[in-house]
Amino acid sequence: MGFPEGFMWGGASSAYQIEGAYKADGKGLNVWDVYTHQPGHVKHFENGDVACDHYNKYKEDVALFKELGIKCYRFSINWPRILPNGVGEVNEAGIKFYSDLIDELIKAGIEPVVSLYHWEYPHELFKKGAWLNPESPLWFEEYVKVVVDAFSDRVKYWMTINEPQCVVGCDYMTGSHAPFMKHERCDLILMVHNVLLSHGRAVKYIREHAKQPGKIGIVPTAPVFVPKDNSKEAIEEARAKTFDMRNAGLFSVSLWSDPIFLGKYPEECKEFFGDSMITPSKEDMDLISQELDFYSCTIYYSSSTPVPDNVQYKENEYQGDPRTTINWVVHEDVMYWMCKFMYERYKKPIFVAENGMANMDWVSLDGKVHDPQRIDFTHRYLLQMKKAIDEGVPALGYIHWSVMDNFEWAHGYSQRFGLIYVDYATQKRTIKDSGYWYREVIENNGGNL
């Protein structure tokens, strides 16, 4: 048997990672546009100025997506391409680009799934304090209003914020993502709350003003612990560790999901943030915890408690373990336990927004791209998702990251996640073996796995 009828098989990208055209047609700058031009942040001093040139090649790309057979395409909208200053004047050329892209997808029979925010924060608003500014949720709402008014006649599926853990944790705690800053916890909890309020304002606007009923989610990443064995005790231990925010801190599941789905911050926040922990108003929590249609997340590998580097293996590692080229452990069981744990806690159908692997890909002498490891990886993870579905976990879809090779943030162009190979020197695209394999999976609705 295959996956549920109507299951949404998809591919994903994000604006900064593929679009390029970073100053074209009235677009404003985002923090990645600015800070990748400063040395020391990105491998080989690379940036997304051109990336995959999707801005100019979107019709060719959508034709390839159609050839892949994907049912939906998740993409983000580059905030300052729509509002160059983050608020105020609307850039009609930006509206036209995304409108044309949406039309092209629909013509190809592909459902557009819009991520409202995938880290393209307007630099003009960053200069005003970004997520630390109490006005930031209103700024986000103004942007969302423009997007929803323009595209909701054709867009039904909305993801508000991609990996909010990274929005605050990588951007402002570890400093590994633009704007590459490190703030104290007293700042971080304010940013967390403003990001959640921004999500809430987006949901409220879509519900009240979209031109057709929307299906809405947010996309946290899921640091899930996997049980040591199938004993009841091991499963309970893994579940408890997954939702105890002290294990993952700012990157935890519960910090970002409990306020939305349970209407409250986890108790451990008081310990983690100390005296800086806020006391949110009922009005704030009501805004944050509006009903969503599914639990969406990104999932790549299992989580572990921290151990000193080069001293011992983490609990999800072992000597000679399988790893992708980005050094992430291959542990397909995490897909099953993510589906189980998230559904049990949050009571929403699961929609996997990202899953995939970085691989050592190149064009072979026969002109093809052979990537058997990606096929095996995806096969393993999909089997685990199917196992959870067969045991009663409702699921709406699976979106492969990524639909094409792209700029991988601080790694630059050194990591290839795509189903489509991109030669960055020539911008030539080549569907990989994994892309054709994925097409067969979609054609059979997973029945051939």
- The catalytic site residues sit at 163, 354
Rounded Cα distance between 249 and 138, Å, is 27
Q: Which two tokens stand for residue 381?
A: 């993870």
Closest Cα partner for 354 from 301, 289, 309, 311?
Answer: 301
Q: What's the burial of 323, exposed, middle or buried (CB within 10 Å: 0-12/13-18/19+)?
A: middle
How distant, in Å, are the alpha carbons of 74, 101, 274, 375, 432 from that of 419?
Answer: 14, 20, 45, 10, 6
Q: Which two tokens stand for residue 249?
A: 């801190």
Q: Which two tokens stand for residue 99?
A: 């409108």
Rounded Cα distance between 364 and 369, Å, is 6
Contact (Cβ atoms closer than 8 angstroms) between residue 264 and residue 258:
yes
Rounded Cα distance between 212 and 209, Å, is 8
Rounded Cα distance between 66 and 27, Å, is 28
At residue 158, φ and ψ (nearest 5 deg) are -130, 130
Handedness of CA 238, 329, 370, 9 (dihedral sign): positive
The DSSP annotation for 227-248 comes to PSSSSHHHHHHHHHHHH-TTTT
- Report residue 74 CA to chain centroid gap: 9
Q: Which two tokens stand for residue 315?
A: 């609990």
Residue 45 per-residue DSSP state? G
Q: What burial letters (b/e) apply to 152-191, b meaning 16+ CB within 10 Å? A: bebbbbbbbbbbbbbbbbbbbbeeebbbbbebebebbbbb
Closest Cα partner for 8 from 202, 405, 296?
Answer: 296
Contact (Cβ atoms closer than 8 angstroms) between residue 125 and residue 159:
no
Q: Which two tokens stand for residue 93?
A: 């050329």
Q: Which two tokens stand for residue 89?
A: 């004047």
